[in-house]
Structure 1
């Protein structure tokens, strides 16, 4: 959801930025969605919800059920009623990618930016930019989990320090390998909680079932040092012991010395183990 701050409607990104507010918010304009768009949402939802039942963590499954969004593109105002009562979060519509500082400020104040446009028919399998399906289906159910709700708020507050110390890339990797592509141990199995995985049918199966992909125990410093893949399935996934473990790791870590030590080093290649590391096996 982040992008460098020179965003305009002529930047090559989709989305109408010209009429966005200073914080890049816009109206959702729910009535502009066509019947074809709602039908496309239903097909995307049906395909992914089949995988949710077997591959997603309990918090995601419970959150998705509470949002009740199977029948069409949801109204953000309806979701905000559920979110506000549960964790104090609310959704704000945005045109697409937004600048880092704006993104961090939204998170620090428990506002989650959700892109308002929906992918086209030919993009059902792959999409280079986040759309409303990725943002809502993938992220919003986890905002109902107190641990993830708290983590995202803390992450937003941590952004100011990372930017000041020239370590934004390191902090971004923490978001990437948790909120976007995180796995968690649950009831003796591996489960998905990252939006980038759960909004992709192919990567959902790959992340859990592939016997060759590298899965490592979650360690925040290792995560912040590890490069990631933008245009293909990930080569490395990090596995939490539990969702509250994410909060414990964040509040116990002094980010300053970590940034000072590693910020000028190139990221570790994705898919490669360090000496002494032991991978976690596949679910199936």
Structure 2
């Protein structure tokens, strides 16, 4: 196997309930160079649950499948079973949510580094695809050096590091000053990447190979466009992408999936005057016809004004 490297310097992070096929596609079109599936339990894979097939990447380049669990054998079998749908397999050892921690999975693995090592070794032995791991810098305190040493010794192909401990959840400021180049393995930094400047500074300070954008992409999906083009997209581009996102959801998940767009409306209306009022109205809409009509009406107001085909920060957004 050739040495693994992240297929780009900026990718979309895995986010439960968010980084589905439709949103991955949208972020790719905005410029994200790689992405991850939502977190999928190894148990669900082995039980052949229908939802698993919907969550796996389909005809997507540079997309990883992220698995979680605590049993080395089950994770190895699950990884082997889904690897044909993945560019590589990612193990979640970062999720701080209680229901995941109670299963000794996610960030709980950072408290049991022997188990974490056994899982990585088992997955490596079972798979032909590279194995990466997403971690936090520790569970209760910063133990990054110890965690990284264990992962590297287990033969991990890459590590994504969220610069907080598990007990911090998403509070406080994520640490970027981690000197990740100390380990001879590709790394990606995540945590508090909300602007293009955040991404650039995090890459420089952390010495990581790549950056993973999570909530920053949800807040402003075109952040990838800004990073690579050094400017915001036009109002027309944002309108058309929002409409395309709606069509993708409808095609993949049916008429009843329109409510999923509600978690993305704040991002698409970021920086627009009157955005707050529009979001309040949007939350009450039902059906794709009503949603598409409202999207066109909102953005066309700006397109009808001379010089309003660019995005900038506005008050009351």
TM-score (norm 2): 0.27
- Higher share in strand: 2
* Larger Cα-atom Rg: 2
TM-score (norm 1): 0.29
